[in-house]
Amino acid sequence: MMLQDEILTLLRSGGGAYLSGEAMSRKLGVSRAAVWKAVDALRREGYAISSGSNRGYRLEAGRDRLRAGELSGPLSGSLVGGSLLCLDVIDSTNTECKRQAMAGAVEGLVVTAEEQTGGRGRRGRSFQSPRGKGLYLSALLRPRLEPAQVANFTAWVAVAVCDGIQAACGLRPQIKWTNDIILNGKKLVGILTELGLVSESNDLDYLVTGIGVNVNQSAGDFDPEIRDMATSLALALGRPVRRSELAVQIIRALDRAYAGFPQNQSEYLEKYRADCITIGRQVQVITPISRREGFAVAVDDGFDLLVQFPDGTEEAFSSGEVSVRGMYGYV
């Protein structure tokens, strides 16, 4: 971490108490002058840090930024989020996380960005990532499992995201099968999970899961073509949400999910079924060769969607595009 982040971590963990420059210099192994310069740099970024003779420094208020100094303290002891790479602008946190994975980065690395210039969603769609408005993060995992065994991990991530949002904001969104997070009938979160395989053996090398949350966007921040289909936490709550606090809660929930994967499947399956807005609705199943109308009966034990068609036949889907009547313009 940069010295500014280390100073910020100490001030955050101080619980509102003053910390002396001497104590911080000893703990961090730097000079008091270096501490002063780091504090001055944080102030220039917008952090309100008070100081007084014989008292030291105290954090009064901070900017809503995703940086290691905001996240590392609360995530101490977690595997996921134990290593952080907090960037200003990046093409895509998933792409950067994969680059880090191929360079040998440790499991649990979380990459965040204030802005993505090439955010990606499922099926090659773009994901709008306006600066400072959303939460854009990706986590690097290295499960010792076969690729087929992690096929439903994205469903676990969806539950973890709902858990994190509930912990941070006091409301629980719903899940549109398989992994869109919905609030008040509109899309709130996108999730994209990608695998990296060992070329010689096709064994699983790494798994990257990317999470994009619409946090503080206004209606005008969404492009006209998606404005009626997207929402943000700020729009739902009528107030801004501190992104760093939301990030901590989502990463903690993801850490718990990964620690229990796959042995705690019954717990996450129960939560997924309770959160899934698709069950009991008229749907349209879209495949490369057809569009079929049906009724979503249930999510089975493997997180597949069981759909009943007008002729009485039932079919389980493990992937594909499923539109839910009354959502995203499907009427």
Q: How many domains does the chain have?
A: 3
Would you state the pLDDT for residue 140? 98
Does the residue 316 lie in any domain? yes
Work out the number of other CB atoms within 10 angstroms of the CB of residue 199.
Answer: 8
| Cβ–Cβ < 8 Å for 31, 41 | no
Torsion of CA 83, 84, 85, 88, to 10 degrees: 180
Looking at the domain assignment, is residue 330 inside a domain? no
**Beta-bridge mates of residue 120:** 126
At 329 the pLDDT is 60
Domain with 177 in it? 68-275
Based on the fold, state whether residues 108 and 237 are members of the same structural domain: yes
The predicted structure's pLDDT at residue 46 = 87
- Vertex 153, ends 107 and 246: CA angle to 5°? 70
Q: Are residues 313 and 179 in the same domain?
A: no
HSE-up of 281 (CA within 13 Å, CB side)?
Answer: 20
Residues 84 and 172 in one domain: yes
**pTM, to two decimals:** 0.89
Helix locations, the chain, DSSP H:
3-13, 21-28, 32-45, 68-71, 93-102, 153-169, 233-237, 243-259, 265-275
Question: Are residues 237 and 303 located together in one domain of the fold?
Answer: no
* Residue 48 token pair: 């309100």
Instruction: Tell me how far apart the alpha carbons of residues 270 and 167 are, in angstroms, rounded to a whole number.
Output: 18
The parts of the chain modelled with pLDDT lower than 70 are 119-128, 328-331
**133 and 177 co-located in one domain:** yes
Q: pLDDT tens for residues 286-312?
A: 888 889 999 999 999 999 999 999 999
Pairing of strands 186-197, 180-183: antiparallel
My answer on whether 262 and 296 are in the same domain is no
Residues 105 and 154 in one domain: yes
H-only helix segments in 260-317: 265-275
Domain assignment of residue 329, yes or no: no
Is residue 60 classed as helix, strand or coil in its secondary structure? Answer: strand
Q: What is the pLDDT of residues 157-210, one digit of tens each?
A: 999 999 999 999 999 999 999 999 999 999 999 999 999 999 888 999 999 999
